[in-house]
Amino acid sequence: MDHDDHVALLHPADLTRGGLWADLGAGSGAFTLALRELIGAEATIFAVDKDRARLAELEDAWRARFGDVRGLHLLNVDFSRALNLPPLDGIVMANSLHFFRDKRKILEHVGTLLKPDGELLLVEYDVDSGNPWVPYPLSFRTWQALASTVGFSEARLLATRPSSFLRGFYSAEVHSKGR
């Protein structure tokens, strides 16, 4: 996948420009860059990842694409632990949830980071059995069943993309219920 594919997976969410967002498990920032393109320069994005080197790659890519790092805040931490963030308008989790067996615990934690009616955009492989590199994926059908049980609205499928690795990707959107 390339940058256009990343944007295309998030674009159907029809995101409001601006706001406070986080990319949990940002890595080198493929989806952080796509998010910034969609929500604009007036937004603030917290890119959270425990790999400092990948965040440095993100910073370089952001600077190359947008000219400076205004609006980007790099947090070199494990997002599954307590985070010192303001209430967020939205969160992107792209290929990060599949590293956790206990998705319920992670999603309940993620929900506490969002404002009421905050948006969670999930990008995942559309399979339910993994491998050593993608240990605990969840299909869209599984995400639909799980989302409402952990305090989110019904999951809405946004887009799909093929993958030579584990069939394909999907993106989906949910909103937090009043917390």
Residue given tokens 């609205």 in the structure block: 153
Q: Are 121 and 159 in contact (CB under 8 A)?
A: no
Q: Is the pLDDT confidence value at 179 over 60? A: no
Confidence of residue 104 (pLDDT cuts 50, 70, 90): very high
Q: Please name the helix (run of DSSP H) or strand (run of DSSP E) that holds residue 32, with its range, or none.
A: helix 30-39
At 177, is the secondary structure helix, strand, or coil? coil
Taking the C-alpha atoms of residue 154 and residue 172, their distance in angstroms, rounded to an integer, is: 10
Domains, the chain, in order of start with CATH, read 3-175 (3.40.50.150)
Instruction: Supply the pLDDT for residue 177.
Output: 83
Pairing status of strand 114-125 against strand 156-162: unpaired
Query: Quick one: average pLDDT of 108-116?
Result: 95
Q: Angle of helix 140-147 relative to helix 103-112, nearest 10 degrees?
A: 60
* Per-residue exposure over 160-176, b if at least 16 CB sit within 10 Å of its own CB, e if not: beeeeebeebbbbbbbb
Instruction: Supply the pLDDT for residue 75.
Output: 97
Q: Please name the helix (run of DSSP H) or strand (run of DSSP E) that holds residue 162, with its range, or none.
A: strand 156-162
Q: pLDDT tens, 136-174?
A: 999 999 999 999 999 999 999 999 998 877 789 999 999
Taking the C-alpha atoms of residue 127 and residue 108, their distance in angstroms, rounded to an integer, is: 22
Instruction: Supply the pLDDT for residue 126.
Output: 94
Instruction: Supply the pLDDT for residue 163.
Output: 82
**pLDDT above 70 coverage of the chain, percent:** 99
| Tokens, residue 49 | 């990842």
Instruction: Supply the pLDDT for residue 129.
Output: 87
Query: Quick one: average pLDDT of 115-129?
Result: 95
Taking the C-alpha atoms of residue 176 and residue 148, their distance in angstroms, rounded to an integer, is: 9
Residue 106 bridge partners (DSSP) = none
Query: Quick one: average pLDDT of 18-36?
Result: 97
Instruction: Supply the pLDDT for residue 178.
Output: 63
Contacts (Cβ under 8 Å, ≥6 apart) of 102: none
Q: pLDDT tens, 44-83?
A: 999 999 999 999 999 999 999 999 899 999 999 999 999 9
Question: What is the dihedral sign for C-alpha 169, 131, 97, 38?
Answer: negative
Instruction: Supply the pLDDT for residue 131.
Output: 86
Taking the C-alpha atoms of residue 45 and residue 91, their distance in angstroms, rounded to an integer, is: 9
Taking the C-alpha atoms of residue 145 and residue 154, their distance in angstroms, rounded to an integer, is: 8
What does the mean pLDDT of the chain come to? 94
